Amino acid sequence: MSILKHLLKLLPASIALFLILIAFTEFSNIKYFLDIPSALISIFIPILLLFPNYCIGEILYNHRVALTSEESEKKEMEIAAIMFKSLESNFIIVGGSGFVIGIVQVLANLSEPALIGKSLAVAILTFFYGILLKLFYAHPLRVKIERKLADRKSSNQ
């Protein structure tokens, strides 16, 4: 596949990410959207939730299946697609859980208005990060694997 085709495939996601960044910088200060605890929760907990079903080697191999053009066995590709579907769900579930935890912190701190903003930021940003990770990380990799499977199926017919 030519480089131009690869770049055209990245264009919609790149435009969406660019528009999100413009919204961050145009309408507010970008530092308001950066929260290390929320990011750590949103990134690492969903990945850790994969460990009951996948070892670290399998997780890394499934990324290689998604990101490289080398041929993989059909079964390996199906397993990788299932893993990324699980990861998509994990990102949303953990984001939603972080939202609930943040709202509980808000309610617990109603008597201290200075702490409400930080708690609300954790609530909203954890959910926001979960959505972004699903949309721009796990979902595209799963779709890429599923397309490889579909291409293989159509070429075998």
Q: What is the pLDDT of residues 18-74, one digit of tens each?
A: 777 777 676 677 777 788 888 999 999 999 999 999 999 999 999 999 988 778 888
Q: Please tell me the pTM assigned to this model.
A: 0.82
Amino acid found at 14: S
pLDDT at 124: 92
Domain count, the chain: 2
pLDDT at 6: 61
* CA neighbours closer than 13 Å in the CB half-sphere of residue 33: 14
Structure-token match 């750590």, residue found: 40
Pair (44, 79) in one structural domain: yes
Pair (42, 24) in one structural domain: no
Pair (125, 111) in one structural domain: yes
Helix (H) / strand (E) element for 30: namely: none
Least confident of 4-13, 32-41, 110-119: 4-13
Pair (25, 42) in one structural domain: no
Pair (84, 122) in one structural domain: yes
pLDDT at 20: 74
Tokens of 3: 């480089």
Q: Which domain holds residue 13?
A: 1-29
Distance CA 42, CA 135 (A): 13
| Mean pLDDT to the nearest integer, 137-144 | 93
